[in-house]
């Protein structure tokens, strides 16, 4: 199968290179020429040019407000698509939008797989992403060998939209864990705890989560794991979650606080940096605390 990827940014570029480096043909398109050039992938001249060359169209885009015009717009994927192609949406999207796109493409005989990804830039680089997929199982099986170039776990969640529902729920929990752990780590720093020792205890205790296991062991050494989801995109994902649970009639008590954390820190100037920098925003509000800066701790007896 010849593949093309629309969206060659932090995640799209990495996934595309995994496919290319496995020796499989892939072309890429991005509205930002500099991102496309930086990806190192063979460029397509336009969405239509890309769709005309490939069997599988991969999408790696910010959200449904971008996905819909790329797929359904005047010069979008739908206009150029042909029966038998598969479109795989690796973005974070609103499930109701996903279902509309699925129906529109189905009328042209094109399969649509909503394939939410998790694991971040590091997992994309290593080919160990998790994919939660919705749509027809047969379509997923057709593209599974391609997806396995950058994902080590691929789970069919149900019909169209189910993959993006699972992704929204996962991303909300990711945001809560990151925001809450950031608060705890700033408090630990102000209290004078040894942060590496504290993380070791957390990771053997009931407070363990993805952030304590995978983010903060790097952050306390000054490595923020740049290149992943920005603070602005994290806030967008939490807003998508809030919209979704509101439509489902499910109350959310933690969602607004999580969104407020990222919105405030983004407004402080961290929005275009990796979302892990939320800990610095909270540290600023706590008087200029940096986890890796020993001069800001007040000491355990303070």
Domains and CATH numbers, the chain: 3-159 (3.40.50.720), 166-296 (1.10.1040.10)
- pLDDT for the residue 197: 98
Report d(CA 299, CA 302) in Å as an integer.
Answer: 5
> 221-278, pLDDT tens digit by residue?
999 998 889 999 999 999 999 999 999 999 999 999 999 999 999 999 999 999 999 9
Q: Which residue has the higher pLDDT, 175 or 120?
A: 175
Q: Within 13 A of 277's CA, how many CA atoms are on the CB side?
A: 21
CA distances from 43 to 25, 32, 56, 73 (A): 12, 12, 16, 21
In this prediction, residue 228 carries a pLDDT of 83
Per-residue pLDDT, 182:
98
State the Cα–Cα distance between residues 20 and 43, nearest whole angstrom: 13
User: Where residue 294 falls among pLDDT bands split at 50, 70, 90?
Assistant: low
**Look-up: residue for tokens 């499930």?**
95
More confident site: 109 or 229: 109
Number of Cβ atoms within 10 Å of the Cβ of 173: 15
Is a pLDDT exceeding 70 seen at residue 296?
no
- Residue 240, number of CB atoms within 10 A of its CB: 21
Spatial CA neighbour of 160 closest among 68, 93, 227, 229: 93
Q: Active-site residue among 153, 167, 189, 221?
A: 167
Question: What's phi and psi for 56, nearest 5 deg?
Answer: -125, 130
Cβ(268)–Cβ(278) below 8 Å: no
pLDDT of residue 302: 32
Under 8 Å between Cβ of 20 and 41: yes
d(CA 46, CA 66): 15
What is each CA distance from 232 to 138, 228, 245, in whole angstroms? 35, 11, 20
Which token pair is 239? 């807003």
Q: Pairing relation of β-strands 111-118 and 129-134?
A: antiparallel
For residue 113, give the 3-state DSSP assignment.
strand
Q: Looking at the predicted structure, is the pLDDT value of residue 120 above 70? A: yes
Q: Which residues contact 59 (CB under 8 A, 6 or more apart)?
A: 5, 6, 7, 67, 70, 71, 87, 88, 89, 90, 91
Q: Reply yes or no on whether 153 is catalytic.
A: no
Separation of CA 30 from chain center: 17
pTM for this predicted structure: 0.91
Short-list 133, 171, 165, 160, CA closest to 248: 165
User: For the residues 151-178, what does the mean pLDDT come to?
Assistant: 98
Asked whether the predicted pLDDT for residue 295 surpasses 50, the reply is: no
Q: Given a cut of 60, is residue 301 above it in pLDDT? A: no
């Amino acid at each position: 199968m010849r593949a093309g990827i629309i969206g060659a940014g932090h995640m799209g570029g990495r996934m595309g290179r995994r496919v290319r480096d496995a020796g499989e043909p892939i072309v890429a398109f991005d509205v930002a020429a500099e991102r496309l050039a930086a990806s190192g992938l063979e460029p397509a001249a336009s969405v239509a040019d890309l769709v005309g060359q490939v069997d599988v169209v991969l999408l790696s885009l910010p959200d449904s407000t971008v996905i819909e015009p790329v797929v359904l717009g005047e010069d979008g994927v739908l206009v150029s698509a042909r029966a038998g192609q598969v479109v795989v949406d690796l973005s974070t999207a609103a499930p109701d939008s996903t279902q509309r796109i699925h129906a529109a493409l189905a009328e042209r005989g094109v399969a649509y797989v909503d394939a939410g990804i998790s694991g971040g830039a590091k997992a994309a680089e290593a080919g160990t992403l998790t994919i939660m997929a919705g749509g027809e199982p047969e379509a997923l099986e057709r593209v599974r060998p391609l997806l396995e170039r950058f994902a080590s776990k691929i789970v069919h969640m149900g019909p169209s939209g189910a993959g993006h529902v699972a992704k929204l729920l996962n991303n909300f929990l990711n945001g809560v864990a990151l925001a809450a752990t950031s608060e705890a780590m700033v408090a630990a720093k102000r209290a004078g705890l040894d942060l590496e020792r504290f993380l070791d205890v957390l990771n053997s205790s009931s407070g363990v989560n993805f952030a304590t296991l995978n983010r903060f062991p790097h952050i306390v050494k000054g490595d923020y794991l740049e290149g992943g989801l920005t603070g602005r995109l994290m806030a967008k994902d939490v807003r998508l979650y809030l919209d979704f649970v509101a439509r489902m009639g499910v109350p959310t008590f933690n969602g607004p606080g999580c969104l407020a954390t990222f919105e405030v820190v983004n407004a402080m100037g961290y929005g275009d940096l990796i979302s892990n920098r939320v800990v610095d925003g909270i540290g600023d509000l706590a008087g200029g605390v940096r986890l890796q800066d020993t001069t800001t701790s007040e000491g355990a007896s303070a």
